[in-house]
Amino acid sequence: MRRLVTGLLACALLGSACVAAPTATPVPPPPTSIPPIPPSIPPATSAPQLTPAAAATGTALPPAPTEASVSVVDNGFSPRTQRLKAGGVVTWKYTGESGHTITDTVGGTTPDTRGKVFDKVISSGESFSFAFAAAGNYPYICRFHSGMAGTVVVE
């Protein structure tokens, strides 16, 4: 009896040392190779680019145009985003009443960083064209009207 009490007291003081270790469940090894693609599936080619709306419907974008236009109205640019092929030209046409600018913000939106690529003041009835030689995103604003912004995406 004395041994039983001493053993129980020792287990209580030592804690987990008296508890049996759980047995490990064997884990199957990972596969050593990936099964080959069945011959009925053709090899992948470059996927067409999809806009979010096109992705939802599965419709591919048409090739980017070499010429595009943007309407400048009193409170915005339409469309706000225009796609263009590298080397292509965008023409902004102004039909509103008050003056506007078409000012790039590629380098930033502060007065000392904007307008490094293009910066044009236009009035009603005027237009401004710019040729985009290199691919990239070209955000732009109207310096006179906050919130008036657009982007030319050159592919």
Q: Let me know if residue 89 belongs to a domain.
A: yes
**Could you tell me the residue range of the domain that residue 145 belongs to?**
69-154
Q: Indicate whether 11 belongs to any domain.
A: no
DSSP alpha helix (H) spans, the chain: 2-14, 52-57
| Per-residue confidence in pLDDT tens, the chain, 155 aa | 555 445 544 555 555 455 555 555 666 665 555 455 444 444 443 334 444 555 555 667 788 999 999 999 878 999 999 999 999 999 999 987 888 999 999 998 888 889 999 999 999 899 999 999 999 999 999 999 988 999 999 99
- Name the pTM for this structure: 0.60
- Tell me if 33 is assigned to some domain: no
pLDDT at 59: 67
> What tokens were used for 140?
């732009």
Domain CATH number, residue 112: 2.60.40.420
Residues in the chain: 155
Residue that the structure tokens 């339409």 belong to: 78
**How far is residue 137's CA from residue 151's CA, in Å, rounded to a whole number?**
7
Q: 116 lies in a domain? A: yes
Q: 141 in a domain, yes or no?
A: yes
Classify residue 32: in a domain, yes or no.
no
Q: Number of C-alpha atoms within 13 angstroms, CB side, residue 101? A: 16
Query: Within a domain: residue 16?
Result: no
In which region does residue 43 sit, left (phi positive, over 0), alpha (psi from -120 to 50) or beta (all else)? beta
